[in-house]
Amino acid sequence: MKILRTGAILVLLSVVLVVAGGALGGRGGMQIALVIAVVMNFVSYFFSDKIALKTSGAQPVSREQLPRLYQVMERLAAKANIPVPKLYVVPDAAPNAFATGRSPNHASVAVTQGLLQIMNDDELEGVIAHELSHVRNYDILTSSIAATIAGAITYMAEMGKWAMLFGGFGGNRDEDREGGGFTAILMIFLAPFAALLLQLFLSRTREYAADETGVRMVGHQQGLISALEKLGAYNKRIPTSAISPSTSALCIVKPFFGSGTLSSLFSTHPPLEDRIATLKQMTVTPLR
């Protein structure tokens, strides 16, 4: 079911990309968009984890360097019945964590130095359980594909705007007379918005699901609740110095980038208050 869901999302976003290419550039634009979709899906599947780790400056760590983190990770991975992911530390004072990779067998979990410094054992366990839930649910692959193709759709729409200003959309005159030009104008604005909404829906839904699965993995919600409260407080004061906006959707909480952040309506994460309230009302059942 998880693989089918990922495949359905991949197909849906690829269709949006190809339709946008057809509206903006006719048959030639559709063919170019199809090639872009294939390349983007290939890159997302095989290299999204390496890109996320590289752009954040994450460094691999050994058991000797961080025995506390390894102990928590190994214990929870056994409960979740998945291989122990590769562990990384991001040189960032802002506390956060993210998981990446195409499957449980090819997964990595990264935590910031700031997170390791402020979390007690129960809170660290809650954070790691949340990230392992993303691995177990194949959320990291879904999010990477959605982010990559949504970015391609937005880029194509920007190219369409320039084409509109400097000579048309690449289609023929008959297409313009039949309304192709109007369709292209609509696609320039609607395709990126549709891709954004789908990406936001996926990101928000998976955060609630990962919270729930993580709590069931640990057996109680107190550690994750306390961790989210700390993360919310610290991320209001400490802007991230390492995590990029393209990687932020993978994080357990939305990183703080300083002034000029978007409203919660267009955030890839649901409000922390809502997540904490949902956790407090949750009845914990064993993970299967």
Provide the strand spans (E) within 75-204: 86-90, 97-101, 107-112
- Identified catalytic residue from 123, 125, 131, 175: 131
- As a whole number of Å, the end-to-end CA separation of the chain is 16
* Burial 241-265, CB ≥16 within 10 A → b, else e: ebbeebbbbbbbbbbbeeeeeeeee
CA distance 46 to 50: 8
Nearest to 245 by CA among 269, 224, 229, 227: 269
Annotation marks residue 125 as catalytic: no
As annotated, the active-site residues are 131
